């Protein structure tokens, strides 16, 4: 009986490890070796373990990508990286070939990591999501990647993507099923609607604003659903 229990526990452990396996490459491993020590120190300074759950936010207008880390009661900002470049203008991506970098609510799972990217390292945002599909929007391979060129993607430069990719890969390897990436046109603080009242995208942006506010209030990522072709935010 004891042998059976031990075997069952071993199988369960192996199954769990296999379910958390992620794509890798010599390039990704070398990047992790370069940045891992400093990243671990930053996480420890916040009281977080290696592989802690993450939440990413992107702001187009200010060219920023934030990585927030789960430290228990709330998330804390680990670091803000400048976006090297993104293409298009403020507003969502609508169709294949429009050159627009997407806006909205996306998530990155293990299968979306590309450790052998043409642009050093990358991960796929998962566009089109359920909202995009409900509105007939098309396109694919919208990435966060290295280098500093973009056709609808968010290019971070090679040094930055090594850190961001390594953090995301570690979180997924340690059990986070998907890392949410919420992409906003700008910071949606008081007065943003008045400032952008004439934009054709105001109704769309008004669907993004509740998620921005929910995170500001709870400092935990809100859950997002698509109901009747609209984003609906459930507060954490």
Residues recognised as catalytic: 145, 153
For residue 206, what are its two tokens? 């008004």
Q: Which residues, listed in sequence order, are joined to residue 85 by a DSSP beta bridge? A: 155
Neighbours of 217 (CB within 10 A): 11
CA dihedral 72, 33, 108, 128 (to 10 degrees): 150
Q: Alpha helix (H) ranges present in the chain? A: 2-19, 26-46, 130-134, 158-173, 192-195, 202-218
Please check whether residue 157 is in contact with residue 146, taking contact to mean a CB–CB distance below 8 angstroms. Answer: yes
Please check whether residue 186 is in contact with residue 192, taking contact to mean a CB–CB distance below 8 angstroms. Answer: yes
For residue 123, what are its two tokens? 């991960």
Contacts of 58 (CB under 8 A, 6+ apart): 64, 65, 66, 83, 144, 154, 181, 182, 183, 184
- CA 223, CA 200: separation in Å to the nearest integer? 26
C-alpha separations of 176 from 19, 97, 172 in Å: 11, 32, 5
Q: Is the peptide bond before 128 cis (omega within 30 degrees of 0)?
A: yes
């Amino acid at each position: 009986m004891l042998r059976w229990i031990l075997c069952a526990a071993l199988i369960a452990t192996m199954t769990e490890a296999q379910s958390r396996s992620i794509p890798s490459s010599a390039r990704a491993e070398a990047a992790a070796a370069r940045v891992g020590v400093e990243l671990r120190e930053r996480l420890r300074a916040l009281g977080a373990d290696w592989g802690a759950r993450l939440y990413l936010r992107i702001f187009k207008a200010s060219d920023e990508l934030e990585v927030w880390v789960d430290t228990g009661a709330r998330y804390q900002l680990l670091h803000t990286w400048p976006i090297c470049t993104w293409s298009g203008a403020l507003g969502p991506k609508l169709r294949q070939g429009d050159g627009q970098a997407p806006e909205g609510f996306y998530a990155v799972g293990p299968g979306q990591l590309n450790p052998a990217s043409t642009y050093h390292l990358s991960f796929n945002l998962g566009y089109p999501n359920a909202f995009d599909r409900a509105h007939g929007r098309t396109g694919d391979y919208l990435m966060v990647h290295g280098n500093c060129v973009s056709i609808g993607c968010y290019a971070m430069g090679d040094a930055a993507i090594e850190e961001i990719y390594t953090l995301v890969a570690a979180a997924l390897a340690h059990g986070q099923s998907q890392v949410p990436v919420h992409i906003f046109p700008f910071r949606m603080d008081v007065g943003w609607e008045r400032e952008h009242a004439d934009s054709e995208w105001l109704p769309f942006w008004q669907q993004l604003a509740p998620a921005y506010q929910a995170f500001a209030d709870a400092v935990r990522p809100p859950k997002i659903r698509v109901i009747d072709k609209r984003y609906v935010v459930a507060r954490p």
